[in-house]
């Protein structure tokens, strides 16, 4: 697996930001969530998903032939990350391989957030629902903040604000994040609460009357730029928000993305 110059450069930048993200860095779709949903005292998960994220990326970048073999077989012995984390098959390119395409973690499924991201990717790329989640082959996922907690209500708001400010200044400003052609910020009220300007963050202007609504009157903020390098930015509600009719909402997200792709002849 070979990576772009921008991604290689991002990995080489000296920074305290240890969480880059998960998934395919060569994809053209970026999904941004709020923060890692991890118990505050789960040291192993914090270690592999946050603290060692950049280190693991550097490892698999340097051992790209072995990485190709792992992606072909998913044999734990061929995983370049083997021995660096407590899960034998954990890898930031395809974390927790084998999770069922279901939001029931007790039965081998995935988290609700990842399940919904999977549905978005299936819709944009127009393929049939697979038995296990495979969104990480087709998009890159990261978080606004690294202040982990099981849910937003349990986060430390001061630490969250500091983390978001640091990541917007040191991470998201890098060309790697600036070059995705479709950016979906599933961050809901975080944008307002923490003073984030999506248009400034990604240099994609908010379209006049760009607040789209679906049949349930649920909003989606629409930013777009056309030309030689067309780019789309959607700021959406958090997909696990209470009362959200999520299937209809995802249908609208997919519709907006497909319209952008068709209008600008974007090759995903």
Domain locations in the chain? 16-40+99-264
Check residue 82 and report its DSSP letter. Answer: B
pLDDT of 105: 85
All residues at 6 or more sequence positions from 248 whose CB lies less than 8 Å from its CB, including other chains: 214, 215, 216, 218
pLDDT of 207: 84
All residues at 6 or more sequence positions from 20 whose CB lies less than 8 Å from its CB, including other chains: 10, 11, 53, 54, 57, 92, 142, 171
Alpha carbon dihedral 240, 244, 249, 253, in 10-degree steps, equals -50
All residues at 6 or more sequence positions from 34 whose CB lies less than 8 Å from its CB, including other chains: 143, 144, 145, 152, 186, 187, 188, 190, 238
Is there a contact between 118 and 239 (Cβ–Cβ < 8 Å)?
A: no
Burial profile 135-153: b = 16 or more Cβ within 10 angstroms, e = fewer: bbebbbbbbbbbbbbeebe
First-to-last alpha carbon distance for the chain, in angstroms, is: 18
pLDDT of 2: 86
pLDDT of 211: 83
Q: Is 26 helix (H, G, I), strand (E, B) or coil?
A: coil
pLDDT of 224: 95
Would you write out the chain's pLDDT as a tens digit for each of its 268 residues? Answer: 789 999 999 999 988 899 999 999 999 999 999 999 999 999 999 999 999 999 999 999 999 999 999 999 999 999 999 999 999 999 999 999 999 999 988 889 999 999 999 999 999 999 999 999 999 999 999 999 999 988 888 899 999 999 999 999 999 999 999 999 999 999 999 999 999 999 999 999 988 777 888 889 999 999 999 989 999 999 999 999 999 999 999 999 999 999 999 999 999 9
Burial of 121 (0-12, 13-18, 19+ CB in 10 A): buried
Is there a contact between 182 and 260 (Cβ–Cβ < 8 Å)?
A: yes
Handedness of CA 5, 8, 13, 19 (dihedral sign): positive
- Taking Cα atoms as reference points, which of 160, 170, 161, 156 lies closest to residue 17? 170
Is there a contact between 215 and 178 (Cβ–Cβ < 8 Å)?
A: no
**In the numeric block, which tokens belong to residue 147?**
């202040």
- Taking Cα atoms as reference points, which of 191, 189, 268 lies closest to residue 232? 268
What's the chain's length in residues?
268
The top-level CATH class assigned to 16-40+99-264 is alpha beta
Alpha carbon distances (Å) from 236 to 110, 131, 150, 214, 254:
21, 27, 20, 12, 12
């Amino acid at each position: 697996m070979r990576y772009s110059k921008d991604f290689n450069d991002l990995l080489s930048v000296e920074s305290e930001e240890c969480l880059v993200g998960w998934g395919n860095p060569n994809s053209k779709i970026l999904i941004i969530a709020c923060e890692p949903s991890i118990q505050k005292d789960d040291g192993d998960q914090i270690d592999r998903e946050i603290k060692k994220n950049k280190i693991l990326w550097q490892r698999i970048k340097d051992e790209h032939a072995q990485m190709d073999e792992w992606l072909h077989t998913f044999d734990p012995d061929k995983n370049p990350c083997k021995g660096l984390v407590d899960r034998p098959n954990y890898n930031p390119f395809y974390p927790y391989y084998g999770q069922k395409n279901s939001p029931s973690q007790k039965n081998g499924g995935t988290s609700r957030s990842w399940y919904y991201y999977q549905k978005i990717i299936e819709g944009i790329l127009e393929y049939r629902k697979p038995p296990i989640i495979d969104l990480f082959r087709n998009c890159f996922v990261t978080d606004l903040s690294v202040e982990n907690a099981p849910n937003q209500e349990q986060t430390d708001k001061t630490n969250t604000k500091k983390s978001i400010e640091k990541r917007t200044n040191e991470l998201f400003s890098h060309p790697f994040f600036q070059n995705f052609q479709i950016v979906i910020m599933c961050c809901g009220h975080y944008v307002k609460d923490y003073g984030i300007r999506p248009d400034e963050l990604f240099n994609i202007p908010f379209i006049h009357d760009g607040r789209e609504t679906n049949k349930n009157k649920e909003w989606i903020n629409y930013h777009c730029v056309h030309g030689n390098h067309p780019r789309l930015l959607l700021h959406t509600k958090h997909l696990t928000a209470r009362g959200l009719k999520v299937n209809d909402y995802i249908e609208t997200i997919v519709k907006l993305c497909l319209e952008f792709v068709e209008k600008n002849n974007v090759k995903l």
